[in-house]
Structure 1
Amino acid sequence: MPNVRPLSLALALSLVTVLSSSDAEAARKKAPARAPAASAACTDFYEVANADWLKANPVPQTGAVTALGQLAGNTRLQQRQLLDRAMNAPQGNVQKLLGDFWASGLDEAAVEADGSKPIAPLLTRINAIKKAKDVPASIAALHQVGIPVAFNFAPDVDLKALDRHIGYFMQGGMGLPDPAFYTRTDADTVALMGRYRAYVKQILALTGTPANQLDAESAQVIALETELARSAQPVADINNPFNNYAPVPTKDLGRYRNLQLDAFLKAQGVNDDLVSMADPALFQQLNGMVARLPAAQWKAYLRWRVGDAMAPYLSKGFRDASFEFRGRVLRGQTIAPARADAVLDAINVAAGPMLGHEYAATYLSRDARRQAGVMVDQIREAQLAAVKRSTWLSAEAKAEAEAKLAALKIEIGTPLRDLDYTVQPMGRGSFGGNMLIASTWRHGQEMKRIGKGNADRRWDVLPQQPAINYDLAQNRLIVTAAALQGPIFVDKASTAEKFGAYGALVAHEISRAVDAKGALIDARGELRSWWTPADKTAWTLIGNRVAAQYSAYPFPGVKDAKVNGQLTRDENMADISGVEIAWEAFSAAQPDAKPADRQAFFKAWAGLWPAQLSPNEAVQRLASDVHAPGRWRSNAPLSNLPAFGASFSCKPGQPMQRTDAEQIRIWR
């Protein structure tokens, strides 16, 4: 019956024609009433607010493109422009140092001619080792120039006295990022170790090992590192700070006679009475290895570690070998970074605080810093008011939260306590040499953090890196100079836009002072839980609702996948808190805000999160990212806030306005 379907289609088309004629009104009157369609803003605000950005930024083949990623890229361009000016017309001594450093790195011909000369003094010292007793001094000397060998030693907060840093002796000294690589026997790991052995041989050859000794020396290096790996803790364990904290008096280090750790501390300029050593068995083994292993084996290992650490800053043979293994094999990179990008990364590693000092002086206006500080105070007041009216927080917890918020330290632009910028003249002659000079300076600054009263000496993020962070140990809000530009903080933006973007991010971070993790440190900086069992239960119940809500959202770019609500729960709760508190602060600052300004607040929030992910990137983020995808960072908090629905005339039950029963309230 071939004519049936065309006839049915013809009748259907006739019906459409009738309904579009003068009889359409009568037909509509007979049809059952339907709810009005939701506007675009009430359906998917992320798409509406970011339409232009999404059109201008298609899905990439690899990696991701995000609004905040573009901000980070812009700050790198600013750093390069600053360094160019410092190279050609420096203003002051710090810029002269940085400009010379930059020029030495960009001069590829000079770097090539320099070969391995920058590390020659280090290699000479290593080659002079004759006996076991010579090894510890070489280990200490390499740590001094920022090349940690045999173990790691770095400052971190004293978990029982948060106003100070102590030195942490920890496992390290291995060329591979995970100790498990050295002991696993699966085919992939065996193949990786083969590539690693070849890389070790390349570096040893470049640092002076004769060809007929390469096999033997590379085997010695890997044997030494394998011995370290067999005694090391799994990566997951050492990432927990409490697993690394075991304070011991420095006078007790004399038991490691062969390793000479007391002399090591003196060489680093550390005179504190306390250090942390969570794995004394590892250091006891190292103590034995110093005496037991041949001096020649230690010499090969130390030369390899120097060559590997400095390879990116030396001539092409070193750089190519390093990129082939560390870039291509370990990180999956296909193309080596451009020369200027590599040099900028190097300067940030060795002299980042110096560059940050000049970056803030160049790109952060006094007025922007002042405005940013005023807004932080307004956000803090809104969070204080929210704590006071909370229906789930106990009276005793409210009192502690209020005290903690009142004690919150705020640092905007650059660290409050500046660094000593006394650095040896670097000149333009040797990029590798300049790296060692700057790295030695940087290591010295790190060691100065150790001791009473130095815990807040500087940040763990650089001023030229866009970041708004809550420092839990110091009860400190950090806003970097680089963060105070679009899309976070635009000088000429309206108050509403500044509260919607910058204010909400600040509120996100300040809320961490009084959430479940913040409740582990009290207002006096002591490590103790100040929530009652009822407070903890209430928070868990809210968190369960948040996890369930986000778990229902599809994950963009991954077919049939949902957001991992448990993985992203803490950040999602902070996002919801941030929008709630920022809206309260904005409403208090502008109680008579016009409808357009109210809408601008929410558009600014959504404007932080546009993102385009390649398929591979989306899969990786689904598995590991603790943040929800940009679409849901934008939409989910707004759908829980009645003020958004009121601003865009959204009805309860529409995608962007949850019903009262579905809404999650944390601080409102």
Structure 2
Amino acid sequence: MTQLRHARTPTLLAMALLVALGGGDAFAAAKKKKAAPKAPVVKAECTDFYSAANADWLKANPLPAGVGSISALGQLRARAEQQQRELLEAAATQPQGNVQKLLGDFWASGMDEAGVERDAANPIAPLLGRINGIKKAKDIPPAIAALHQVGIPVAFNFGPDVDLKALDRHIGYFSQGGLGLPDPAYYTRTDAETRELLGRYRAYVKQILALTGTSQDQLDAESALVLDLETRIARASRPLPDLVNPLTNYAPVPTKELKKQFRALQLDDFLKVQGVNDDVVSVANPELLKQVDALVGSIKPDAWKAYLRWRVGDAMAPYLSKPWVDASFAFRGRVLEGQVAPLPRWTQVLGAINTAAGPMLGREYAARYLPEASKKQAETVAEQMRAQLEQAIAGNTLISAEAKAEAKAKLDKLKIEVGTPRRDLDYTVQPMGRGSFGGNMLIASTWRHREEMKRIGRGNADRRWNVLPQQPALAYDLAQNRLIITAAVLQPPVFDVSRDASAQYGALGAMVGHELTRGFDTKGRMIDAKGEIRDWWTPADAAAWNALSEKVAAQYGAYPYPALTGTRVNGTLTRDENLADIAGLELAWKAFNAAQPNANPGAKETFYASWAQLWAQQLSPQEATLRVTVDTHAPGQWRANGPLMNLPDFATTYGCKAGQPMFKPEGERIQLWR
């Protein structure tokens, strides 16, 4: 302050002299300039760190016309798909081993469009022949079971899922399905828009029935039979919102009682055909199975034949010749999904292989694209994040001693699986050859279904992941208390083994922390260390968490939504993900400092930039309008900035001051695990 006063003295003397010498204009100009000093320059990092850290990406990736969104993580997914394509193309020409030979043949058969055209509907001819052979009601249940066996569920769905009373096992779940439309309500609504959709749907049913062999003069009658049967199934189905809660879908019954309850459906024989010998299954909606059971005897076999042929044709249409593909896309792609044009051929074939033989491709993908050094380093980062969470739980002042003890016991049992599952499906699939893409789909789908059925029974719940290794993902498996890090996610911007700890913890570490904390939040509290479903929080723990959740919802609810005017982030909708983002970054910062206790300022800046660069994103106003109401994640700008503003060390690193956008006063900061 002394220096400033001394500096002003000559200036004031000069002004006085100017007045005395008649220099009033100059004095007025100088006075005016002094009255409007320039505002101090605020660092870009303290204004909007997301934009500063992603400036190069945002400039290099403008949103193309007609595209709703692009993102750094979306580019990672596209890169993983391209890697799969390159692997399959190499396997088709120079396979390394038997599994690659099978996959290469599968790929070649799908890319041989001329061969697919020649093959026409031959792949499904045996299935259609069996259906056409139905004579009596007793022939219908075996036909239903046979279609399930090849991966085409009809009348209902059946598959493995966790036994909610014993999370170390899977049981078979009978659930609603067997409909051509995605929502049962479509069949019973009376509004004009739905009736128009039903009309277009019936036209599509006619197209498929004609391709399966229905004569022109029978198309109206058979399509009416199909819609009538599906409508009856739909009326016995539950509304989709009722299916969200897993507990409402869990209704175990002894397998031996199925034969008594549903005599016409022959469900005991159905299970034997699927290779299931368990003593219990879940039947969440017995009224649906009762309806199907009644329809077996009350609906004429010809109606069932039309329905089953339609379901086979619809399921297999994308893998057959052009008339089938075009019909499927015109309704499912254009009408239901709003696609303008079909995906490139290679993308369609890749999707088919992932659907029917995804685990096979996953192992080969990991062997080719995940170096052992990357896997080990990722495991090290994940283990360090686990260690930091353990310390944070021990030191947390918000949760009770009882909750801390249970959380530690649960964390001690947590499994970390990187790259590929520790246990997985086998690969004794039949040789597929290059002759028939549709035939290969059925062979692989039959194999996949058989392996899925093997998950049913004691001790099989962890046989594989619910995500494929070739799909970029980090996930916390709540039922199995395990962290999953896929092979495909271990590449930039999430992970780069050549970069130092600052980048690895800022990106992968923070994402791991996000997932790990899900085992100890409002959902994780419902499963204890023994894998039993019970709430292990005390009422005081729940109250403290709820208060923190409300604070987070309010904080994020004040942020403007990018690409929209006058719209803010839905803080309540995104609350749980925001909490996990904040927690993950807190833990990652602690882990980084443990790994590099004397990190220089540049390393700290790299840590924060690596976090922000995960969420680089461009959104159209239309896409933003949709996401603000349905997306449980905050937009990229606030996934980046929100957690950083709550971390005191961020402001210290960049010198951000009170009043600057990226600075939050201590009393406004959210603190979970620091």
Partner AA of 2:211 in structure 1: L
Aligned position for 2:380: 374
Please report how far the alpha carbon of residue 281 of structure 1 lies from its aligned counterpart in structure 2 after TM superposition: 1.5
SS across alignment from 2:668: coil
- The answer to whether residue 416 in structure 2 is matched with residue 410 in structure 1 is yes
| Residues 1:397 and 1:548: Cα distance change in structure 2 (over 3 Å) | same
The answer to whether structure 1 residue 203 and structure 2 residue 212 are counterparts is no
1:480 and 2:494 aligned: no
Pair 19,34 (structure 1): closer, same or farther in 2 beyond 3 Å: farther
**CA offsets, 1:71-101, max 9 Å, x none?**
0000000000000000000000000000000
Q: CA deviation at 1:623?
A: 1.3
Mapping of 1:54-93 within 5 angstroms?
Answer: 54-61=58-65, 62-93=67-98
Question: Which of 231, 234, 237 is the aligned partner of 2:236?
Answer: 231
Asked if 1 retains the 8 angstrom alpha-carbon contact of 2:202 and 2:227, the reply is: yes
The reply to whether residue 108 of structure 1 matches residue 82 of structure 2 is no
Which residue number in structure 1 is paired with residue 20 of structure 2?
none
CA distance in 1, matches of 2:167, 2:658: 47
Question: Within 5 Å, which residues of 2 pair with 1:76-475?
Answer: 76-255=81-260, 256-475=262-481
- Is contact 1:363–1:481 with CA below 8 Å preserved after alignment? yes
Residue 46 of structure 1 pairs with residue 44 of structure 2: no
Maintained 8 Å contact 1:520/1:529: yes
Q: Which residue of 1 aligns with 2:9?
A: none
C-alpha displacement of 1:158: 0.4
> In 2, Cα distance between the equivalents of 1:229 and 1:541?
42
- Kept after mapping to 2: 8 A contact 1:652/1:660: no
- Cα distance, 1:285 vs. partner? 1.4
Structure 1 residue 160: deviation in Å? 0.6
Equivalent position SS for 1:628: coil
Supply the AA of the counterpart residue of 1:532. Answer: T
2:590 is matched with 584
Instruction: Indicate the residue corresponding to 1:626 in structure 2.
Output: 632
Seen in structure 2, the aligned counterparts of structure 1 residues 58 and 19 have a Cα distance that, compared at 3 Å, is farther
Query: Structure 2: how far apart are the matches of 1:378 and 1:503?
Result: 9
Give the whole-Å Cα distance in 2 for the aligned partners of 1:235 and 1:25: 72
What secondary structure sits across from 1:489 in the alignment?
Answer: coil
Is the 8 Å Cα contact of residues 162 and 526 (structure 1) preserved in structure 2?
A: yes
Taking the aligned partners of 2:342 and 2:177, their CA distance within structure 1 comes to 27
Mapped partners of 2:426, 2:666: distance in 1: 56
How far is 1:22 from its partner? 10
The CA deviation at 1:36 is 3.9
- Residue 13 of structure 1 corresponds to none
8 Å Cα contact 1:645-1:657 kept in structure 2: yes
Shift of 1:60: 2.9
Partner Cα distance (2:147, 2:195) in 1: 30
CA deviation digits over 1:357-384, x for unaligned, max 9? 1000000000100000111110011111
SS in 2 for 1:153: strand
Residues 118 and 432 in structure 1, CA contact (< 8 A), matched pair in contact too: yes
- Give deviations 1:410-466, integer Å, cap 9, x for gaps: 100000013210011100000000000000011011101100000000000000000
Q: Could you tell me how far 1:617 is from its partner in structure 2? A: 1.1
CA drift at 1:34: 9.0
TM-score (norm 1): 0.96
**Counterpart Cα distance in 1 of 2:592 and 2:572:** 31
**The one of 557, 567, 582 aligned to 1:551:** 557
Alpha-carbon spacing, 1:426–1:542, altered in 2? closer, same or farther (3 Å) = same
Q: CA RMSD in A?
A: 1.6
Aligned with residue 660 of structure 2, among 641, 654, 657: 654
Supply the distance in 1 between the matched residues of 2:203 and 2:667 (Cα, whole angstroms): 62
Q: In the aligned structure 1, how far is the partner of 2:643 from the partner of 2:140?
A: 58
Secondary structure, in 3 states, of the residue corresponding to 1:661?
helix
On the 8 A contact 1:231/1:282 being kept in 2, the answer is: yes
- Number of positions where the alignment pairs a residue of Structure 1 with one of Structure 2: 650
| Alpha-carbon distance in structure 2 between the residues aligned to 1:565 and 1:137 | 51
Does the 8 A contact of 2:72 with 2:614 survive in 1?
A: yes
Structure 1: distance between partners of 2:410 and 2:533: 13
Question: How many Å separate the matches in 2 of 1:63 and 1:22?
Answer: 57
SS of the equivalent of 1:120 reads: helix
Q: How far, CA to CA, are the matches of 1:336 and 1:654 in structure 2?
A: 48
8 Å contact 1:45–1:656 — kept in the other structure?
yes
Corresponding residue of 2:620: 614
CA contact (8 A) 2:377 2:497 kept: no
Deviation at 1:559, TM superposition (A): 1.6
User: Structure 2 unaligned runs (5+)?
Assistant: 1-22
Report matched runs for 1:590-605 at 5 Å. Answer: 590-605=596-611
Task: Using structure 2 for the length normalisation, give the TM-score.
Answer: 0.95
What secondary structure does 2:666 align onto? coil
Question: Structure 2: how far apart are the matches of 1:57 and 1:283?
Answer: 51
User: What amino acid is aligned across from residue 167 of structure 1 in structure 2?
Assistant: G
Taking the aligned partners of 2:276 and 2:516, their CA distance within structure 1 comes to 34
Cα pair 1:60 1:613 within 8 Å, conserved = no
Matched residue SS, 2:410: helix
How far does residue 26 in structure 1 lie from its aligned partner after superposition?
Answer: 7.5
SS of alignment partner, residue 503 of structure 2: helix
Amino acid at match of 1:457: R
Distance 2:185 2:162 in 1: 28
How big is the shift at 1:19?
Answer: 14
Q: Which amino acid aligns with 2:170?
A: H
| CA offset digits 1:273-305 (Å, max 9, x no partner) | 010001112111111110110000000000000
**2:525 is the alignment partner of 1:519:** yes
